[in-house]
Amino acid sequence: METIEAIDVRNEHWSIDEWSHRIDKLLDGESATAVFNVDEHDTREYDAIFLGGGAGGRFGSAYLRAMGGRQLIIEKWPFLGGSCPHNACVPHHLFSECAAELMLARTFSGRFWFPNMDGVTTSIKEMVDVFKRGRVGPHAIMNYQSKEQLDLEYVVNAAGRVIDAHTVEVAGRRFRAKNLILGTGARSATLDVPGKDLKGVYTYESIVETLDYEPSETVVVVGGSKTAVEYGSFFSATGRRTIMVVRTQPLKLLPDGETRHYAVTRMKEEGVDIWEGSNVVEIEDDGTGRVRAVKIQTPGGIERVETNFVFMALGEIPNSEMPVATLGVKTGSKGEILVDEHLRTSVPDVYAIGDLIGAPMEMFKARKSGTYAARNVMGESIAYRAADYPDFLHTHYEVTWVGLGEEEARERFREVIIIKMPPDSPDGWNVGLPASDRTMLYAFEKMPKSGFQKLVIDGGSRKIVGAHHVGYGARDGFQYLAVLMRQGLTIDQMGDFDELFLNPSHFIQLCRLRAGARQLQNL
């Protein structure tokens, strides 16, 4: 049993600010001090130990505690909340905001109050540093909120070791519980090519931890899905030649072809250099252990690109090795722990949640699977399976969708009605609509950049079966739109809503223009 320092914070009531300072020190790694927030006076057995205090563990714990149960989170990092605020969704949002703002600044370079951006490369490292300086704030809020507002018990800054389905050891202490809920997340996959471990090869995790130089004027991004596109768009927006090496095509996850075409066309216009049907085959060492160049197999042969910066975004691998080794839980083909609809693993009293159970590795699923596991542990018998959910990603824009693309809708329904903006017209994209949040200047001065949006409707039932948006400000709405679509939302109901004009998605008013007709028509 390893010896580790420990402090008991149960009777401390640190402010958010105080937590910030404490977490900063623990992250600096000066000491391996486990932080115990455990109620020694509570004699009840724990209903569940959550191994991992990320989104699933924290939300599951909050729900279980609110139901009157007793829980314990064990988390290796010195904070709750998991990878999202530490290296995943929060930095991604910061960098995507930079991408959007830089596109605006470059579009209006030297005009109005915008600086002249011709030939200007902005710093990647500076924005990474902004993130690193500030990320402890959200961390502190999680610890503060979880302790002072949600009344959770937790041990942080110490890795838990599973002894059996009811026992976890942490920092020299053993804790027993009626159930064990595994939520240890996932990590970035990397490409197994020569040079993959050189300095200069990053994932979204390592870039925020270890980037200590300014990437060269050319950078290479490997992959074509969400993370690749989000970071690639940011790198490109800084003014760098950004080559995206994509095995097949980028953004295949977008269900609507026309929307995908719009999004990809704008990325290309902004300078992202997309190499389809290509693979990185080697990363060259400069002789000092750093990246010097990348060799890429393209449809036209091997190309060599000089760069000191390679970003890999090839998906996620569940961190299932430890529970598999100690408990023998069953896993699927991608290493994900297999669970039933009650989030139960193959081992009695052991549940698994979050990214650890595989796709979709999204925040809502992590959090909801945590709360559903908690409810099952507390005696409810309640099923959860992520389905019919909205989704989004960032290019320089925010891209949001829910339901079917036009293509799949045409396979399923006899009559498909399309309502979109801008309209099909002889002038193509050269119209000043759509226009709304953050696209007003584009709508007036650079019309094709003002966005694209589309509704897919089953003409027979009049139900809205798909919605797609490229622009800004539609994401919150899609959360609720998804709920209404599950209720069977029709064009007639949509057309009777109260729009807040200029609404980022013009769906309500466009539906109203057509809803009067028995036989629906495109718009």
The residue from 27, 89, 253, 314 that is catalytic is 89
424, HSE (Cβ side, Cα atoms, 13 Å): 6
To its own copies, the closest distance from the beta carbon of 27 in angstroms equals: 16
Query: 378 near 371, Cβ under 8 Å?
Result: no
Stretch of 32-40, 212-220, 252-260, 427-435 contacting its own copies, by CB under 8 A: 427-435
Q: Which of 23, 26, 48, 64 binds its own copies (CB under 8 A)?
A: 64
**Please, which residue, 48 or 162, has the CB nearer to its own copies?**
48
How many residues make contact with its own copies (CB under 8 A)? 113
Q: Is 80 in the site for its own copies (CB under 8 A)?
A: no
Which of the following is catalytic: 80, 327, 404, 455? 80
Q: Compute the least distance from the CB of residue 117 to its own copies, in Å.
A: 7
Binding mask of the shown chain, residues 21 to 60, with x at each position contacting its own copies by CB under 8 A: --------------------------------------x-
Q: Are strands 46-51 and 173-182 parallel, antiparallel or unpaired?
A: parallel
Phi, psi of 445 (to 5 degrees): -125, -20
In 3D, which of 476, 437, 433, 427 has the Cα closest to residue 452? 433
CA nearest to 318, candidates 258, 358, 373: 358
The residue from 399, 490, 504, 511 that contacts its own copies (CB under 8 A) is: 504
User: Given strand 241-245, what is the order of strands in its sheet?
Assistant: 201-202, 310-312, 218-222, 241-245, 272-275
Q: Would you count residue 63 as binding its own copies (CB under 8 A)? A: yes
Q: How far apart are CA 390 and CA 23, in angstroms?
A: 34
Is residue 422 reached through a cis peptide bond, with omega within 30 degrees of 0 on the bond before it?
A: yes
Identify the DSSP state of 199: B
Asked if 454 and 406 count as a contact pair (C-beta separation under 8 A), the reply is: yes
CB 235 → its own copies: shortest distance, Å?
14
317/9 Cα distance (integer angstroms): 34
| Member of 205, 273, 349, 499 binding its own copies (CB under 8 A) | 499
Report the nearest approach of its own copies to the CB of residue 140 (Å).
8
Residue 438 is a binding residue for its own copies (CB under 8 A): yes
- Among 6, 25, 138, 279, interactor with its own copies by CB under 8 A: 138
Q: Give Cα 266 distance to the centre of its chain.
A: 22
**Token match 């205090």: residue?**
53
* Nearer residue to its own copies within complex by CB, 320 or 400: 400
Best CA proximity match to 99, nearest among 248, 305, 253, 242: 242
Mark whether 139 is an active-site residue.
yes
Q: How far is the CB of 253 from its own copies (least distance, A)?
A: 14
Q: What is the CA radius of gyration of the chain?
A: 25
What's the sign of the alpha-carbon dihedral 252, 98, 123, 316? Answer: negative
Q: How far apart are the first and last CA of the chain?
A: 69
Residue 149 gets which letter from DSSP? Answer: I
84 a catalytic residue:
yes
Residues 183-222 that bind its own copies (CB under 8 A): none
Interacting residue with its own copies among 112, 119, 301, 348 (CB under 8 A): 112
Bridge partners for 154 per DSSP: 37, 73
Q: Is 335 in the site for its own copies (CB under 8 A)?
A: no
Position 512 contacts its own copies (CB under 8 A): yes
Q: Does 342 bind its own copies (CB under 8 A)?
A: no
- CA atoms of 423 and 434, how far apart (whole Å): 9
Could you say which of 139, 166, 394, 468 is catalytic? Answer: 139
* Residue 9 within binding range of its own copies, rule CB under 8 A: no
Tokens representing residue 476 in the block: 């919150």
Distance, in Å, from the CA atom of 299 to the CA atom of 334, rounded to the nearest integer, reads 28
Q: Which of 32, 94, 189, 338 binds its own copies (CB under 8 A)?
A: 94
Nearer to its own copies, 108 or 281 (CB): 108
Marked catalytic residue, from 26, 51, 64, 84:
84
From residue 372 to residue 411, what is the string marking binding to its own copies with x (rule CB under 8 A)? Answer: --xx----------x--xxxx-----x-x-----------
| Residue selected from 84, 222, 267, 399 as contacting its own copies according to rule CB under 8 A | 84
Cβ closest to its own copies, residue 112 vs residue 411: 112
Q: Give residues 472-491 in contact with its own copies (rule: CB under 8 A).
A: 472-484
SS3 content of the chain, % helix, strand, coil (to 5): 35, 25, 40
Residues sharing a CB contact under 8 Å with residue 23, sequence separation 6 or more, in sequence order: 78, 79, 136, 139, 140, 143
Contact call for residue 134 and its own copies (CB under 8 A): yes
Nearest approach in angstroms of CB 180 to its own copies is 20
Confirm or reject binding of residue 431 to its own copies (CB under 8 A). Answer: yes
Our CB check for its own copies shows the closer of 80 and 329 to be 80
Assess whether 89 carries a catalytic annotation.
yes
Show which residues are catalytic. Answer: 80, 84, 89, 139, 501
